[in-house]
């Protein structure tokens, strides 16, 4: 795995204990342009469709299996921290989980909408799907991840005028909630699994 650049919100010097300094980054899987749109397909090669029945596009460089593998790895790390960390183990695990999730924030390495330092509206659906894939693989509940997404959206998201918001997660568009749910469904049904 290739190392990624440290997060703007979390300098490399602040890597949580128990985490090796090599932070993996998704790798390109197809075209020479790592930001080229390619269809999201399940493990049988079937296209994954959004709520409107349209194929979901993803950047060629952000393979969905990366997020599942990373989620499974992070679950092992967090479980280890809790099991072996003594009194501070749970707090360290929470800090580690928050640091990992921050990679999905705006302009961070796992933000599918903003790859290559450019905004890509064609990847809006995929950005939430991979959050769902990752969170499901870590064992987070749907409510945990959607509550965190809702808090992040309250702080930094600006949706177009007239966007339809969810009735429970009031700072998220219905589309974000549906796509996060789709990520959970793809993982739990094993349509997209670990390699």
Q: pLDDT band for 12, please (50, 70, 90 cuts).
A: very low
Residue 160 placed within a domain: yes
Residue 148 placed within a domain: yes
Across 171-192, average pLDDT? 96
> Which has more confidence, 186 or 1?
186
Name the DSSP class of 6.
Answer: P
Distance of alpha carbon 27 from alpha carbon 30, whole angstroms: 10
Domain total for the chain? 1
Across 118-139, average pLDDT? 97
Residue 68 placed within a domain: yes
Residue 21 placed within a domain: no
Whose tokens are 């790895």? That residue is 73
pLDDT for the residue 184: 98
Residue 104 placed within a domain: yes
Residue 130: domain span: 63-195
| pLDDT at 23 exceeding the cut of 90 | no
Whose tokens are 């997404």? That residue is 149
**24-80: per-residue pLDDT in tens?**
455 444 468 889 999 999 999 999 999 999 999 999 999 999 999 999 999 999 999
- A 10 A CB-CB count for 24 gives 15
Distance of alpha carbon 151 from alpha carbon 132, whole angstroms: 16
- Whole-model pTM: value is 0.82
Q: Whose CA is closest to 113, among 53, 54, 56, 182? A: 56
Residue 7 placed within a domain: no
Residue 150's contacts (CB-CB under 8 Å, 6 or more residues apart) are: 169, 170, 171, 172
Residue 54 placed within a domain: no
| pLDDT at 11 exceeding the cut of 80 | no
| pLDDT at 114 exceeding the cut of 90 | yes
| pLDDT at 6 exceeding the cut of 50 | no
Residue 51 placed within a domain: no
| pLDDT at 142 exceeding the cut of 70 | yes
Across 121-128, average pLDDT? 96
Distance of alpha carbon 115 from alpha carbon 22, whole angstroms: 20
């Amino acid at each position: 795995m290739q190392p990624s650049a440290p997060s703007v919100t979390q300098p490399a010097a602040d890597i949580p204990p128990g985490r090796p300094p090599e932070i993996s980054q998704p790798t390109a899987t197809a075209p020479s342009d790592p930001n080229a749109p390619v269809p999201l397909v399940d493990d049988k090669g079937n296209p994954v469709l959004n709520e409107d029945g349209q194929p979901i596009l993803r950047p060629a460089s952000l393979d969905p299996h990366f997020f599942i593998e990373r989620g499974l790895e992070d679950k092992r790390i967090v479980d280890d921290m809790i099991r072996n960390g003594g009194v501070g183990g749970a707090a360290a695990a929470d800090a580690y989980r928050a640091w990992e999730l921050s990679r999905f924030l705006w302009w961070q390495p796992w933000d599918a909408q903003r790859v290559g330092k450019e905004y890509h509206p064609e990847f809006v659906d995929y950005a939430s799907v991979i959050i769902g894939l990752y969170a499901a693989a870590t064992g987070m509940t749907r409510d945990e991840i959607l509550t965190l997404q809702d808090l992040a959206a309250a702080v930094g998201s600006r949706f177009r005028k007239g966007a339809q918001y969810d009735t429970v997660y009031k700072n998220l568009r219905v589309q974000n909630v549906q796509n996060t749910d789709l990520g959970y469904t793809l993982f739990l049904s094993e349509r997209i699994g670990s390699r």
